[in-house]
Structure 1
Amino acid sequence: MPVVNVTLIEGYPEDVRVRLAERITDAVAATLDAPLDAITVIENEVKPASYMRGRTGRRPGAAQLVAGELVERFLRLMEERKLDEAKTFLGEDFVMVFPGASGGTEMRRLEDLVAFSATRYRWVKKRIDSIDEAYRGTVTTVIVTGTLYGEWQDGTPFENIRFVDRFEIEKGKFRRQQVWNDLAIAMAARG
């Protein structure tokens, strides 16, 4: 029956404290053979004046945004081709890797993705089945699965094409996006 005590500076919103307790619970369950209902997380809050490091009082730091929500918002902006807003999600060294015959195509600019996509279809959207998050140090990995639907270049509709997107996020900015999908298979099947 693990019991984890966490001390926080007073001031974090309730949803952030709940998210922290859930993630601590998940980390314990993934590390120890303990059922979820046997893991206790206690968050103690102290007034900012009661929390000092190096003779300096501290205030609560910023909470990280929910990574899965960031990814979903980014994907919707890309569907709508709101590239300027979508760019605000990207880190300086952002890279996208898309499927290809020789190990994939790397792109660093959203405009390059739009140009690449224009050779394949008129438009595409995603039906998201799941969004999962994993954490390692300061990097959150988000895996999105679902199916694509849209229109081929000739106006013929398509749907139910599987996809997986993998994002690496650090400090609220995307470092990397890897994409796997069955578009090439569907294109080949069309002849």
Structure 2
Amino acid sequence: MADRVTEARDVVAAYLAASMAGDAEEARRYLAPDCVIVFTGGRVMNDPAEPPAFNARRYARVQKRPLRTDAVADAATGCVHVWTTGHLHGAWPDGTPFDGNRYVDFFAVRDGLIRRTEVWNDSAEILLHRAGLAETPL
């Protein structure tokens, strides 16, 4: 069991490294052919080239600073569930730098491939705050 968990953590780490380097071809190696990517706002994507293309409209540049990775085997599905949490840092389209933007990424890994991934972060809340539209201060 521990070997499956370690393998899943390694698959996720390799996928994230390739993804953050902008290497969609390398990132595809870690995804099952029918992998579903659920990005911020519930946007469904099917290819690792899609999130960076979306991010290119939202950020001038963005990188992840992982703080923690947790993984557990799910006997019901046969998957290992992996969560990475940390902060995004980079710059908004106008060049204004940012840091400390929280994120959570979820991965379901089975047979050495990512079957599903979901992404959440604070970017929308931060953008609302910058536009003066946040209901309460951040």
TM range (shorter): 0.7 to 0.9
The aligned counterpart of 2:58 is 120
5+ residue gaps, structure 1, are: 1-19, 24-62
Shift of 1:115: 1.8
In the alignment, structure 1 residue 183 sits paired with structure 2 residue 104: no
The aligned counterpart of 2:72 is 134
The aligned counterpart of 1:166 is 106
Shift of 1:69: 2.0
TM-superposition CA deviations, 1:69-97 (whole Å, max 9, x none): 22122112111101111110000111111
TM-score (norm 2): 0.86
TM-superposition CA deviations, 1:97-155 (whole Å, max 9, x none): 1222xxx1100012222221111002211111110111023210001111110111111
The aligned counterpart of 1:149 is 89
In the alignment, structure 1 residue 70 sits paired with structure 2 residue 11: yes
2:49 & 2:9 partners in 1: Cα distance?
Answer: 23
1:112 & 1:78 partners in 2: Cα distance?
Answer: 10
TM-score (norm 1): 0.63
1:78 & 1:184 partners in 2: Cα distance?
Answer: 21
1:160 & 1:113 partners in 2: Cα distance?
Answer: 20
> What is the aligned-residue RMSD (CA, Å)?
1.5
In the alignment, structure 1 residue 81 sits paired with structure 2 residue 22: yes
1:129 & 1:187 partners in 2: Cα distance?
Answer: 23
2:50 & 2:23 partners in 1: Cα distance?
Answer: 14
Preserved contact between residue 35 and residue 46 of structure 2 (Cα < 8 Å): yes
5+ residue gaps, structure 2, are: 132-138
2:56 & 2:93 partners in 1: Cα distance?
Answer: 8
Shift of 1:67: 1.3
Q: Which has the higher contact order (CA 8 A, sep 6+)?
A: 2
1:71 & 1:111 partners in 2: Cα distance?
Answer: 16
Based on CA coordinates, which of the two structures has the bigger radius of gyration? 1
The aligned counterpart of 1:105 is 43
Aligned length: 128
TM-superposition CA deviations, 1:12-38 (whole Å, max 9, x none): xxxxxxxx5xx4xxxxxxxxxxxxxxx
The aligned counterpart of 1:55 is none
Q: Percent identity, please.
A: 36
Partner letter of residue 89 of structure 1? Y
2:109 & 2:128 partners in 1: Cα distance?
Answer: 33
